[in-house]
Structure 1
């Protein structure tokens, strides 16, 4: 598989690091308007460095392009790549609006290119294990969940990350991880209610979402840029027979408490993450590349990615109006 990387910032370098060591994959080009960043990625991967995508497209054997650009640039470049008939692995979120995401999807379908969106949380061992446990019947029917994601206020990145018109803000950029996961866990959303608190000094962007699902499940989500501590993710998934908990700050990765424990039927079931040779980004990229090779369906479909954008967009609307937003039937 011959692949190129478009954008050599933070995520582009993560992709470069993982693709460089992946068997059967050759990084043939890296592109960034900043020549120093492009050269750094080229040194890591052995690829040729470019400062414009038109030069990259001159490569004859290119098959796939990984798009690691700022969110507001996803659509225009994915459309260009699709026109060349090249497959696309694009960082999340797919786009800033559902309409843009749907246009990207349609363009790739028109030109016979596959489009994958990097909702990497599904590939984190603790989240993936929690999904499987929640649907195994171990905690009964999952009915409620709480998700939290805290991080320092973004710095640098040429200002795009903190510009809601370019990144979508804390809901579209940060919380969309948990939006996608909650929808994977519970299915279609019936309504979303959101509130956002912002502060300029010190900078803070804090949001809370409540998602009501059509199967009557409820999820509450918290996202926080400006957190003074270490990057933190937490979740609880509750069923009528038990609860699954995770806290990234604890040594114990995943804890499942069931009603059987209360009846003295055995110890809590603990699912450790275990030692992993490769990080979740490696697993995600490897999975998408295998889907291209064998034509299989990905763990994260483009429909899933469009749906996450739709819910995040509705949450932004709710935060602006102070009212819940009902979700229609055709949003992906």
Structure 2
């Protein structure tokens, strides 16, 4: 399967690295409007570089295009790629607004192409195992859930995160929103608190699920320590806990180079699995295209997560509980 990547920032390079290691995948090209960066990235991975999406698609004829661009560009590029009849993998969140997301989903259906959205937490082995155990009733009926996702502030390196990403709820916490919905089902109400400054964006969100469970979600851009995620499910018959710091069986600390001292655009969470979770995610999406099967995370799921995240952002601004219909 021929795959091309659009965007050579942090996520674009992650997609390139994982696709390049995947059997049965021919990674053909990278496209970015930053000519210097796209040429450097293409040279490193021995790919062809383009600054024009149209030229890349016409010259390379990929089966799939992976879009790793800032959120506010997702709609434009998804619609452009769909018009060529190419399947699409798009990084999360699906779009900045419900209207954009709905248009993207509907257009892809009309063009007969598949749209996959990269809610990668579903593919982390620890989180997948938690879902399997909750689904199997290992801890009984779930009553209370806590999640945490904290790390450095990406706005230090990429200004668009501050003004056009939607903030820590829509860009970061949406990972946990999607995961919890995949385990617990529909959310009926949202209440949120958020504090923002030049250095920090911190949010606490409470979700009530249709089944009665309550979830408290924490997200923080500006945390001075390492990127950390945690989750706890408390049920009538037990508790399941996971903390990414506890899961690291081997820690390596290296002296930083001059390049390492540059602020990272966005932290990429790691997993002790043999492959990076992005590898499993991308492999799954491509297998769904090849075998014409449904994905474990759909574009409709991504729309649901966005709807809840936007409601949480609205609650934080108004101080009011928001009902989800």
TM-score normalised over the length of structure 1? 0.89
Aligned equivalent of 2:286 = 289
Structure 1 segments of 4 or more deviating over 6 A?
none
Q: Where do residues 85-234 of structure 1 align in structure 2 (5 Å cutoff)? A: 85-163=85-163, 166-200=164-198, 203-234=199-230
Deviations 1:4-56 (A, max 9, x none): 10000000000010111111111111001112221233234332101121211
2:20 maps to 1:20 = yes
Aligned partners of 1:204, 1:8: CA distance in 2, in Å?
Answer: 26
Aligned equivalent of 1:269 = none
Shift of 1:157: 4.5
Uncovered stretches (5+) of structure 2, i.e. residues with no partner: 250-269
Deviations 1:168-205 (A, max 9, x none): 111000000001011111100100001111122xx111
Aligned partners of 1:295, 1:40: CA distance in 2, in Å?
Answer: 35
Shift of 1:59: 2.4
Aligned equivalent of 1:315 = 312
RMSD: 1.6
Give the conservation status (yes or no) of the 8 Å contact 1:39–1:49.
yes
Q: Where do residues 247-266 of structure 1 align in structure 2 (5 Å cutoff)? A: 247-251=243-247
Give the conservation status (yes or no) of the 8 Å contact 2:144–2:234.
yes
Aligned partners of 1:190, 1:23: CA distance in 2, in Å?
Answer: 42
Aligned partners of 2:271, 2:158: CA distance in 1, in Å?
Answer: 37
- Report the count of equivalent residues: 305
Aligned partners of 2:107, 2:209: CA distance in 1, in Å?
Answer: 30
Aligned partners of 1:93, 1:173: CA distance in 2, in Å?
Answer: 6
Shift of 1:60: 5.2
Give the conservation status (yes or no) of the 8 Å contact 2:149–2:172.
yes
Secondary structure of 1:39's counterpart equals: helix
Shift of 1:154: 1.4
2:295 maps to 1:298 = yes
Deviations 1:123-156 (A, max 9, x none): 0011110110111111112222100011011145
Aligned partners of 2:73, 2:238: CA distance in 1, in Å?
Answer: 43
Shift of 1:312: 0.5
